[in-house]
Structure 1
Amino acid sequence: MNNCHLLLLLIGALLLPINNVLALPHPMQARQAPATGDVAGGTWQIVGNTGVNAMHIFVSAPNKIILIDKLENNLIKQASGQPAVSTEWNLDTNEIRILDVTSDTFCSAGSWLGNGTMLHTGGDNGNNFLAAGQQTLRFYDPAVGNWVEMVGLMGSKRWYPTMLSLANGKALILGGSIGGTGLNRAEINNPTYTIWPPTDGVTPDPEVQFQFLIDTLPYNLYVMLHLVPNSENKNLIFVLANQQSILYDLDTATIVKNYPTIAVQRTYPQTGTSLILPLYPETNYLTEVMVCGGQKEFEILSVAEASCGRMDLNAAEPVWTMDDFGGLPRVMPDSVILVNGEILFLNGAGTGYAGFRKGKKTNPLWANDNPTFNPVLYNPTTKIYAKMNPSSIARMYHSVATLTPDGSVFVAGSNPQGNVETEVLYPTEYRAEIYSPPYLLTGASRPTIVTIDGYIVNQGRIPITYGNTASIVVQLPKTEVISFTAAIIHHGFVTHSTHMGQRYVGLVVKEAYSDATTADQYILTIELPPNPTIIAPGPSYIYVLNNNFPCVKGVEVLLN
C-alpha cells in the first residue's frame, strides 16, 4: 500500500474511541451451549452472539474474525450512537468488539492485498448516518484494528461486485450493478473491472470494459472468480456468470478460452457456490473447478439444484462432469475447504432463491425456504459425499461459513428479510456456531507447530517466500505413528456463498526427523509453492497434519 494509505491507517488507529478498543460484553451476548452431534457426523456448538448479522466475513488473525452487516437496526451501537455495522469476533473468548464504519456496506466485497491488508469495496446508497458505499474503498489492517475508509474514491458504483487476490499482490474488483436489484438489468449493469492499487498508487486507473458481463445478463452479480495456476506468472482468471465461463488473461485483457456452459443457473440470485479443488505439487497442480447448487428457475417454489459440476480447466477439451451434490438440493450453499483437503458444503435452502421475504411478517412469503440443515462432506479423490450431523439453526440468505485456524468451521448469519426481525419463522440470526468436523473428534494426538524458520508462532505473521523451503518444528508424542503432511490455506473473504480467493495447496514434506535435543519434537523441511499463481501473495495459514489429523492450530504467514 502506498504511503498515503499507510498514513491514513495510522491516523485511524490513533482516533479509535477507547470503548471500541476493548472487548464489549453486552446484553445480546449469548451463552455457550453444549455441543450436539457425534464423532461420525461432527458436532455443533452455539458459542455466542455476533452483535451484527454476518453478511460478510473474513479471518483477520489467528484468533479473530471480522463480521460485516448492512445498515440495519442492530441493538449494539457504534461510538457515534448509530447501530453497529461491523464487529470483531474473538475465537478464544467468544466476545465481540465493535468496529467503526462510516459508509454503507450492503452487498459489498473484499480481498486481501499482498501486503497483508484487507481491501473492501462497494455497497449501497447510505442514509443520514452512513455515507454512500458504492464507490468507497475500505481498508482493514490487523495491526490497526479498525476500518479506514475512502468515501467516493472509485470511478463507478458497485453493488454485488466480486473481488480476487492476484498474482502481483493487487486485487481485482469486477462487475456489479450501480444500484440494488434482484435480477440485474442493462440500465444499471456495471460491465467493467478495475485493479487496486492503481498504477500510480493513488489515482484509480480507468475502468476496463468487460463484454462478458453484458453477454451474461441478467445473472452476472457476484460472479465466480478464481486465479488459475500457470508457470508464466500470468493473471489468468476463471470467470463464471449465468451458465457461461471463460479463461481470461487479465494482463492482456483477452479471452484465452471459452468453456462449455454448465447446466442450470449458478450465480445470484439463483446462487450456487464454487471453488478450485485442492492443488498438489505431485499432480503438477492439476486445476479443477467445482460449482455446486443453484436454481433452475427464478421462482419461490422451485426446488433447488442437487448437482455439482467439476471441470479440469487445462484439459484439451474441457467438459463438466456432473454429480448429485450428495443428494441434497441446495441454493445459497457455502463451500469450505478443510485442513485435510476435503470439502464441507453447508448452509442454504431447499427451495427458492437469494432474496428477502415478500409481504409482512404476519403473513410472509419467503423467497427461500426449507433450510438445508445437514452439511455434506466431499472427498475430491474418491468423489464420495457423506451426510453430516445437522445444525439446529436455519442458515439461508445472508449467512456465511469459514474455516478457522484450529480446523473447525465458524458459521453465522442468516437474515432473509430487509431489516432486523426476531419474532418470525426465520429471524435475523445473531447466534454463532462452531462446527467440528470428524477429524477433530477422534481423540488422536494432533501436532503442535512451535516455530517456522526460527520464528515463534502466534507472535505475528511469519514471512515466507515462493520457491523456498521452510523449516518447521512440531511437537507430537513419539509414541504416535508418524506420517506428516502439510498444506497452506488462504481463507479468503466470504459473502453470498462466494468464497473470494479461498485456496488450498498441498506442500511437499522433503524431510522429517526426530529432534534429538528435545523430547516429542520433530523438525520438518517443506517446499513452498513455486510462484504466486498457485496461491496469491498475502496472509495464509500453514498447517501440518499427522495421518490426516490437523495440527492444533495453523500458523499465519505472509507469503511473498
Structure 2
Amino acid sequence: MEFWNAPSRRKCGQWSLVIIVVAIGLSSLQAVDAGLGEWRLVTKNAGISAMHAAVAPVLGTVVLLHQTKTGPSNITFPDGRCRNITYDLLLKTVCYVHSVILDPTSEVVRPIMVMTDTQGSSGQFLGEGSLSQTGGDLEGKKRTSNLSTKCYTTVAQRRYCDWVEGGNGTDLLEQRWYFTNQLLPDGRQIIVGGRQTYTLENYPHTLHRQLYIFANRDSILYDYNQNVVVRKFDKIPDNPRNYPSGSSSVMLPLVYNDNFKKVEILVCGGAATGSVGKNEGQMECSTSLMETMPMPRCMGDMVILPNLNVMLINGVKRDYQGWKSGSETILNPVLYNPRKVAGNRFTVLNPTQTPRVYHSTANLLTDGSIMVAGSNTHQYRSFQSMKSNVDFPTELSVKAFMPPYAENKPNSGGRPVIISVNATNVKYRATIESSTGPSPPSPFSPPPMRTVSNPDSFVFTMTSSFWSSHLFSFGQRVVTLNPLNITTQPESRMENGRWVNARTVQLRIPSHYTVLPRTYYMLWVVKNGNPSSSCAWIRIR
C-alpha cells in the first residue's frame, strides 16, 4: 500500500473521509480460486440491451431502459402501439420497446413506454418508492419522467402503466447529459454537471448539508445549501478516472459502531493504469491510500454486498469507454474485503462466458446475487458476431452471479432466513424487531457444516436500491444497524411447518436522514458472513 500527500498524524474533526485508490500492473494477475461464486442465466433475451437498471422496492422486479435512437430493439408492444412525439429530433414514430420490467426469477418481461431518449440520464428511487428519471440525450436533455410503484409488476395491466413524462414546470433548468445524481436527506435530488454543463440544481426545484464530489483526479467537500466549497482534497495519482477513462467508485458502508462518522470512498480502475484508490479522512484532514488490484479494469461496475464486501464486475482490461473502444474483456468478478489487511483484500471469482462492456449494468437482487445486463458498444444496435477485438455484439441476455459468501465454510451455519419484521414503514430513531431462523434443509444438498458450537456473529445491514448506468450506481448506500438486544434461545428450527425458538433482534434505525435518506431499503441479517437468503423491504419515512 502506498500513501501519497498524507497529512501529518493529528487529531481530526468529527467526521472522517477516506479515499482508497487501487492501482494495477499488467503483471499482477492472480490464479482463479475455483468454485467461488455461481452464475445463472436469468433470460436469454430481455428484449432490450439494458443501459440503465434499477431493482424495484418490495416486488424486487428490475426496471431496464435503453436509449430510443439506436434503431429497432428485439421487442414490440403486444397491442402494436407506437410512440408518437412531434418534438423528437430524429424519430417521430417508434414502434419498438425501449424499457421493460423484468422478473429475475420467472424471466417474465413486461414492456413499458418511455417517451424521450434516456441515454446518459440518471435516476433515483424517491421517498414513496417511485422511480424518477432525469435528463438524457437530444430532446431528453431537460426532460424528467416518473414510474409509479404500481407499474413495477410484470402482470399485464388493463390500463397502460408506463413512464409518465413530466409536464410544465418539471423540466430541468439546464440540459443534462452524462451527469451525476444523488438523493439528498430531505428527499430531493441534487443534479451535478453534465457534458458542457458546469452547474448544479435540485429536483424538484426548491432551493447545512455537505456533499462529497469526485471528478477525474480531484475531489471536494461541497456545501449545497451555502453554495460554497468547504475544502479541496489532494489529487489521486495516475490518470483521470472519469469518462472516457472508465473507473467506478462507491462509498464504503457506514457503520453504527463509530456513529457513522467515518466515510471511505473507494475508486477502482480506469484506462491505462487501472488503479484503485481509497480516500479516508475527516473534515480537517484526510488520508489517501493506494492498493493493487489483481487485474486492470476499465468500464467495471461496483456493487456493495450485504456482508459489507464490494464486488467488481464487468469491463475490459485495455483501452477506454466509447463506441468500439474497449478490448480484452474481463470475465472474472473480483471480491474486495475492506476488513482484511492490505495485500489480501482481493479474491478472483468464477468467470462468466458473456462479455459486458460499454453500456452494461450491475444490480443487487433481493436474494443477494448480482444481476448483470446490457452491453452495447455500437452507436446503433448490432447483433452480428465480432469482426475485431473491440466489435462486441449488442447483448440482450441477463445473468446473475451469486457471490460465494461464507456458506460453504466450516461452522458458518449457512444462510439465515428472515421470518418476520414487525414494521416495514418506520421513522428515524425507531426500533424494529426481526425474527430469524436457519435455512430450511434441502433434500438435494447436505445441511450447512456446523462442527463446533462457537457463538454466532451477526451484522445487520440496510442496502439501498440504486440506478445502475455507465459504471456508476446512483444512490448506492449501505448502513449497519445497532442491535439493541439479540435473543440467545436454543437453535431455532421448523416443526410441523412452524418456527420454534426463532431468534429475535431489536434494531435501532439511525437518528438522522443524512445517514439514511428517506426511501426504501433492503434489510439483511448477516450471520457468520452469510446474508439472509432474501431481504425484507423497509421504508424510511
Note the residue ranges of structure 2 that are not aligned, 5 or more in a row.
1-31, 83-94, 153-161, 387-391, 441-449, 491-497
Match for residue 69 of structure 1 among 66, 69, 79: 66
| Match of residue 519 from structure 1 | 500
Q: How many residues align?
A: 449
Q: 1:215-272, CA deviations, whole angstroms, 9 ceiling, x for partnerless residues? A: xxxxxxxxxxxxxxxxxxx431111112111000111111111001112211111111
| Match of residue 176 from structure 2 | 158
- Paired residues of 2:37 and 2:404 also in contact (CA < 8 A): yes
Residue type of the partner of 1:284?
N
After TM superposition, the structure 1 = structure 2 runs for residues 428-447 of structure 1, keeping only pairs within 5 Å, are 428-439=394-405, 442=408, 444-447=413-416
| Match of residue 306 from structure 1 | 274
- 1:151 deviation in Å? 6.0
Q: 1:384-443, CA deviations, whole angstroms, 9 ceiling, x for partnerless residues? A: 101111111111100011111111100111101111111132100011111011127629
Residue type of the partner of 2:244?
P
- 1:483 deviation in Å? 3.1
After TM superposition, the structure 1 = structure 2 runs for residues 333-344 of structure 1, keeping only pairs within 5 Å, are 333-344=300-311
Match for residue 107 of structure 1 among 89, 114, 120: 120
SS at 2:187's partner residue? coil
1:95 equivalent in alignment to 2:108: yes
1:191 equivalent in alignment to 2:236: no
How does the TM-score come out when normalised to structure 2?
0.79
| Match of residue 231 from structure 1 | none
Q: C-alpha distance in 2, partners of 1:155/1:238?
A: 22
After TM superposition, the structure 1 = structure 2 runs for residues 375-524 of structure 1, keeping only pairs within 5 Å, are 375-382=333-340, 383=342, 384-425=345-386, 426-439=392-405, 442=408, 444-453=413-422, 455=423, 462-476=424-438, 482-513=456-487, 518-524=499-505
Q: 1:360-407, CA deviations, whole angstroms, 9 ceiling, x for partnerless residues? A: xxxxxxx11111111110011114101111111111100011111111
SS at 1:392's partner residue? coil
After TM superposition, the structure 1 = structure 2 runs for residues 221-300 of structure 1, keeping only pairs within 5 Å, are 234-263=208-237, 264-285=239-260, 286-295=262-271
1:56 equivalent in alignment to 2:56: no
| Match of residue 32 from structure 1 | none
- Paired residues of 2:122 and 2:469 also in contact (CA < 8 A): yes
1:371 equivalent in alignment to 2:332: no
Q: C-alpha distance in 2, partners of 1:50/1:39?
A: 30
Q: C-alpha distance in 1, partners of 2:223/2:499?
A: 50
Residue type of the partner of 1:75?
N
| Match of residue 287 from structure 2 | 319
- 1:51 deviation in Å? 1.2
- 1:514 deviation in Å? 5.5
- 1:477 deviation in Å? 6.8
| Match of residue 542 from structure 1 | 523
Q: C-alpha distance in 1, partners of 2:209/2:244?
A: 28
Q: C-alpha distance in 1, partners of 2:439/2:524?
A: 18
Indicate how the Cα distance of structure 1 residues 176 and 440 shifts in structure 2: closer, same or farther if over 3 A, else same.
same
Indicate how the Cα distance of structure 1 residues 519 and 312 shifts in structure 2: closer, same or farther if over 3 A, else same.
same
- 1:154 deviation in Å? 2.3
SS at 1:143's partner residue? helix
Match for residue 190 of structure 2 among 146, 166, 172: 172
| Match of residue 80 from structure 1 | 81
How does the TM-score come out when normalised to structure 1?
0.76
Per mean C-alpha deviation after superposition, the further-off stretch among 61-70 and 427-436 is 61-70
- 1:157 deviation in Å? 1.4
1:332 equivalent in alignment to 2:299: yes
Q: C-alpha distance in 1, partners of 2:304/2:205?
A: 31
- Paired residues of 2:122 and 2:134 also in contact (CA < 8 A): yes
Residue type of the partner of 1:468?
A
Residue type of the partner of 1:50?
A
- 1:520 deviation in Å? 4.2
- 1:156 deviation in Å? 2.2
| Match of residue 130 from structure 2 | 117
Q: C-alpha distance in 1, partners of 2:34/2:366?
A: 20
- 1:503 deviation in Å? 0.7
Indicate how the Cα distance of structure 1 residues 473 and 505 shifts in structure 2: closer, same or farther if over 3 A, else same.
same
Residue type of the partner of 2:67?
K
Q: C-alpha distance in 1, partners of 2:39/2:257?
A: 35
Q: C-alpha distance in 2, partners of 1:316/1:41?
A: 41
Note the residue ranges of structure 1 that are not aligned, 5 or more in a row.
1-36, 126-131, 178-188, 200-204, 206-233, 296-303, 358-366, 456-461
SS at 2:286's partner residue? coil
- Paired residues of 2:133 and 2:145 also in contact (CA < 8 A): yes
- Paired residues of 1:476 and 1:522 also in contact (CA < 8 A): no
Q: 1:40-97, CA deviations, whole angstroms, 9 ceiling, x for partnerless residues? A: 4211122212211111111113420111101132020135241111111102202211
Residue type of the partner of 2:38?
T
Residue type of the partner of 2:322?
G
- Paired residues of 2:406 and 2:528 also in contact (CA < 8 A): no
- Paired residues of 1:41 and 1:438 also in contact (CA < 8 A): yes
Q: C-alpha distance in 1, partners of 2:323/2:538?
A: 39
- 1:163 deviation in Å? 0.7
| Match of residue 12 from structure 2 | none
Q: C-alpha distance in 1, partners of 2:310/2:62?
A: 21
- Paired residues of 1:540 and 1:556 also in contact (CA < 8 A): yes
- 1:526 deviation in Å? 0.9
Superposed CA RMSD: 2.2
Indicate how the Cα distance of structure 1 residues 434 and 39 shifts in structure 2: closer, same or farther if over 3 A, else same.
farther
- Paired residues of 2:61 and 2:104 also in contact (CA < 8 A): yes
Q: C-alpha distance in 2, partners of 1:154/1:411?
A: 30
SS at 2:62's partner residue? strand
- Paired residues of 2:33 and 2:349 also in contact (CA < 8 A): no
